[in-house]
Amino acid sequence: SSSHITECSNCGKEPSSPSVELKACGRCKQTKYCSVVCQTIHWKKGGHKHVCGHKRTSASTPELNEAGR
């Protein structure tokens, strides 16, 4: 599918083989990385820290609004 990320969000590297999967960000599960090193760099210097979780938060907002009524 077009939403399937096939390269590291930090360095752009593709997995070395089809059996090697990129690791997802533990928080948002949307951003993929080839290594912990790339994940750390992207979090600290690449701006992911400031955008991470927005998709998950917006998806849960309707549930919170309904629970408060």
φ, ψ for residue 65, nearest 5 deg: -65, -40
Cα gap 44→52, rounded to integer Å? 12
> Over 60: is that where the pLDDT of 4 sits?
yes
Alpha-carbon distances, residue 38 vs 23, 24, 64 (angstroms): 10, 11, 34
pLDDT higher than threshold 80 for residue 66: no
Task: Read off the pTM.
Answer: 0.67
Q: Which residues pair with 32 in a beta bridge?
A: 24
60 has a pLDDT exceeding 60: no
Q: Per residue in 11-48, pLDDT tens?
A: 999 988 888 899 999 999 999 999 999 999 999 999 99
With a cut of 60, say whether residue 56 has pLDDT above it.
no
Does the structure show a pLDDT above 60 at 7? yes
